[in-house]
């Protein structure tokens, strides 16, 4: 596959658009703006990865985790806040490198909720762009159900919702297993692909050229059509050349992988903020205090977590191989507001077991710690099993539970950089009754005990892989940060296209929605 990143020496002094971030919003923006004739630069904080660059297992922390202070420059980032722990992606292609490929479309409630609900008939307007997003991302129904998925099907039957069980629609090429073929998606303009071998290693980075990450579709095509892309670079400042940016912007950036580096400044007529919630919000919140004071007071508000819980089950049954399949191969609708999926890692990936504790369903802290100590003393097998099984990935299943129900956080500046506070609705919790019920049913079927990240048991703070909102749509700047076309209130030719624009809780994996909304937003741009 042709190397995508441009060298610093090839950069222009002035661009029509600088795009900050290369995830689902940034990649779509890069291709569509380039096709319309604009000079585009994509700035990505993480590294560019070829297939062979990804770790073989998640024990290779230097290649898997993003911890620049330790010189770990991988694709998986974990960020801890007071109310939530967030798993996110880093690298050229953003979250597509580490996500589980799953592309579900939200129900009608998503389009008729939150601060964007009265701005347009979103379900109707976005429908063709969801179809376009599925096509561009190469979405197909998962053809192989592994032991993980078949167990979920039994859980669905046990809970009386078997009819709602279905294979997932995923961004994976399902050709002949392991066979290399010319680009099957874009009339030969894209890179060669290989058929999925169902190794389960999607979330540590696909080493087999089967996963349809953004560097193989949107970004690849954007590069071929003239877009410039630089990696390992972080934007640190945005300076409007006039009060509202009508004369363009000066963008200051530096290396994200070196402790000391010379800052570089480039000019652009317009900006696309696409660094995700954990990239866009910290940058804009900082700049609101300095160079971008006209940003809406709603910035950082209405952050959502998809009301998730992540619960692992580890079995010692050697007749089961939970690692076989795609990362998420099936989904169950538990009720109108709740979905459940099962996730897997590839053979040999057992890092998570080092930070697991038994799942204790108890909201009161003191009672929970008491029950934890009692469990560790009287029944240590639940924790020991995670360490003693022959292969953690083969014997473990991760239940991902999501709800459409609403609660929101607020991101704000503090002495550490960014902190969270409650905005509305109930506080996010690691203790959701329906998810606990499903996890217990799963455990009985495979003879296991539920486990969660140790911080969840100790603090009760849940984890999420789908942090959303904070730069939501509104009728005006007193109601939102961006308008219905994603333009930032208070500044000209500045837009937000990433998870922070999501203005309601989708209740399902959001990547498809980010792609579709960005496609819609890009359709509003005139040709250069």
Distance CA 121, CA 116 (A): 10
The string of DSSP letters for 451-468 reads EEEHHHHHH---EES--E
Q: At what angle do helices 511-523 and 122-136 cross, to 10 degrees?
A: 110
DSSP annotation of 325 reads B
What is the spatial distance between Cα 361 and Cα 430, in angstroms, rounded to a whole number? 8
Q: How far apart are CA 196 and CA 212, in angstroms?
A: 11
Per-residue model confidence (pLDDT) at position 439: 87
- pLDDT given for residue 261 in this prediction: 83
Which segments within 351-407 are labelled E, that is strand?
Answer: 356-358, 396-403
Please give the full DSSP string across 409-425, using - where no structure is assigned: EEEEEETTEEEEEEEES
Q: What pLDDT does 448 receive?
A: 87
pLDDT computed for residue 8 by the predictor: 57
CA neighbours closer than 13 Å in the CB half-sphere of residue 143: 12
Q: What is the pTM of this model?
A: 0.95
In this structure, are residues 244 and 468 in contact, taking their beta carbons and an 8 Å threshold? Answer: no
Q: E strands along 168-263, which residues? A: 169-171, 180-181, 193-194, 228-230, 233-240, 249-255
The contacts of residue 370 (CB under 8 Å, 6+ apart) are none
Question: How many helices and strands (H and E) does the chain possess?
Answer: 13, 27
Which residues, in sequence order, are bridge partners of residue 76? 65, 89
- The H or E element containing residue 78 is strand 76-80
Question: Long-range CB contacts (< 8 A, 24+ apart) of 232-236?
Answer: 232/44, 232/45, 232/46, 232/47, 232/73, 232/256, 232/257, 233/43, 233/44, 233/45, 234/43, 234/45, 235/20, 235/43, 235/275, 235/283, 236/263
For residue 130, the model assigns a pLDDT of 98
What DSSP string runs through 456-525?
HHHH---EES--EESS-B-SSTTT-SB-TT-BBTTSTTEEE-SGGG--S--SS--HHHHHHHHHHHHHTS
Q: What is the largest CA-CA distance in the chain?
A: 70
Q: How far apart are CA 171 and CA 512, in angstroms?
A: 10
Q: For residue 27, give every residue at least 6 positions away whose Cβ sits within 8 Å of its Cβ, in sequence order, or none.
A: 42, 93, 94, 96, 214, 217, 218, 219, 222
**Residues 351, 138: Cα–Cα separation, whole Å:** 30
pLDDT tens digits in sequence order for the chain, 528 residues long = 444 556 555 889 999 999 999 999 999 999 999 999 999 999 999 999 999 999 999 999 999 999 999 999 999 999 998 888 899 999 999 999 999 999 999 999 899 988 999 999 999 999 999 999 999 999 999 999 999 999 999 999 999 999 999 999 999 999 999 999 999 999 999 999 999 999 999 999 999 999 999 999 999 999 999 999 999 999 999 999 999 999 999 999 999 999 888 899 999 999 999 999 999 999 999 999 999 999 999 999 999 887 788 899 999 899 999 999 999 999 999 888 888 999 999 999 999 999 989 888 888 899 999 999 998 898 887 678 778 888 999 999 999 988 876 678 899 998 878 888 877 767 777 788 888 888 889 999 998 888 998 888 898 888 888 899 999 999 999 999 999 999 999 999 999 999 999 999 888 899 999 999 999 999 999 998
Angular region, 137: left φ>0, alpha ψ -120 to 50, beta rest: alpha
* Model pLDDT, residue 5: 56
Task: Report the candidate in 89, 134, 422 with the shortest Cα–Cα distance to residue 126.
Answer: 134
Provide, for the chain, the percentages of residues in helix, strand and coil under a 3-state DSSP scheme, each rounded to the nearest 5.
Answer: 30, 25, 45
Counted residue by residue, the chain has a size of 528
Select from 284, 272, 343, 277 the least CA-distant residue to 306: 277
pLDDT at 53: 96
User: Which member of 113, 339, 404, 466 is catalytic?
Assistant: 466
| Measured distance CA(455)–CA(119) in Å, rounded | 40
Give the per-residue pLDDT at 20: 98
Strand order in the sheet with 85-89: 76-80, 85-89, 463-464
Ordered by where they begin, the domains of the chain are 12-523 (3.50.50.60)
> Is 466 within 8 Å of 99 (Cβ atoms)?
no
Q: Is 466 a catalytic residue?
A: yes
18 closest CA partner among 356, 252, 218, 357: 252
Nearest residue to 436 (alpha-carbon basis) of 346, 309, 266, 342: 309
């Amino acid at each position: 596959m042709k190397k995508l990143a441009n060298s610093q020496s090839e950069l222009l002094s002035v661009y029509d658009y600088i795009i900050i971030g290369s995830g689902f919003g940034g990649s779509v923006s890069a291709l569509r703006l380039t096709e319309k004739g604009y000079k585009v630069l994509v700035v990505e904080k993480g590294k560019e990865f070829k297939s062979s660059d990804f770790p073989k297992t998640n024990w290779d922390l230097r290649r898997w985790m993003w911890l620049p202070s330790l010189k770990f420059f991988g694709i998986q980032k974990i960020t801890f806040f007071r109310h939530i722990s967030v798993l996110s992606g880093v690298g050229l292609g953003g979250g597509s490198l580490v996500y589980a490929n799953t592309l579900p479309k939200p129900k009608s409630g998503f389009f008729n909720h939150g601060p964007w609900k009265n701005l347009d008939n979103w379900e109707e307007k976005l429908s063709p762009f969801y179809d376009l997003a599925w096509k561009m991302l190469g979405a197909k129904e998962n053809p192989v159900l592994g032991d993980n998925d078949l167990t979920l099907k039994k859980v669905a039957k046990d809970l009386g919702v078997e009819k709602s069980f279905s294979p997932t629609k995923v961004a994976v090429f399902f050709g002949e297993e392991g066979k290399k073929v010319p680009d099957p998606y874009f009339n030969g303009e894209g890179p060669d692909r290989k058929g999925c071998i169902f190794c389960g290693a999607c979330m540590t980075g696909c080493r087999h050229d089967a996963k349809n990450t953004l560097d193989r579709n949107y970004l690849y095509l954007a590069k071929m059509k003239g877009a410039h892309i630089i990696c390992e670079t972080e934007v640190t400042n945005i300076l409007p050349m006039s009060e509202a940016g009508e004369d363009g912007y000066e963008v200051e950036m530096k290396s994200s992988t070196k402790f000391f580096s010379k800052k570089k400044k480039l000019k652009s007529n317009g900006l696309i903020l696409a660094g995700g919630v954990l990239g866009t919000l910290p940058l804009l919140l900082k700049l609101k205090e300095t160079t971008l004071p006209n940003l809406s007071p709603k910035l950082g508000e209405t952050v959502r977590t998809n009301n998730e819980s992540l619960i692992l089950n580890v079995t010692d049954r050697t007749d089961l191989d939970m690692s076989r399949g795609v990362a998420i191969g099936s989904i169950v609708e538990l009720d109108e507001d709740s979905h459940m999926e099962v996730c897997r890692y590839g053979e040999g990936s057992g890092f998570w077991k080092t930070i697991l504790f038994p799942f204790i369903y108890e909201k009161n802290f003191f009672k929970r710690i008491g029950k934890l100590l009692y469990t560790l003393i009287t029944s240590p097998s639940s924790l020991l099993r995670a360490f003693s099984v022959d292969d953690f990935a083969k014997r473990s299943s991760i239940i991902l539970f999501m709800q459409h129900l609403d609660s929101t956080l607020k991101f704000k500046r503090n002495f550490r950089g960014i902190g969270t506070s409650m905005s509305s609705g109930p506080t996010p919790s690691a203790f959701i009754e329906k998810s606990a019920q499903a996890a217990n049913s799963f455990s009985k079927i495979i003879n296991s005990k539920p486990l969660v990240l140790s911080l969840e048991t100790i603090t009760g703070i849940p984890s999420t892989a789908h942090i959303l909102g904070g730069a939501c749509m509104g009728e005006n700047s007193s109601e939102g940060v961006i308008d219905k076309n994603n333009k930032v209130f208070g500044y000209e030719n500045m837009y937000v296209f990433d998870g922070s624009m999501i203005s309601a809780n989708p209740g399902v994996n959001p990547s498809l929605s980010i792609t579709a909304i960005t496609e819609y937003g890009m359709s509003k741009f005139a040709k250069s």
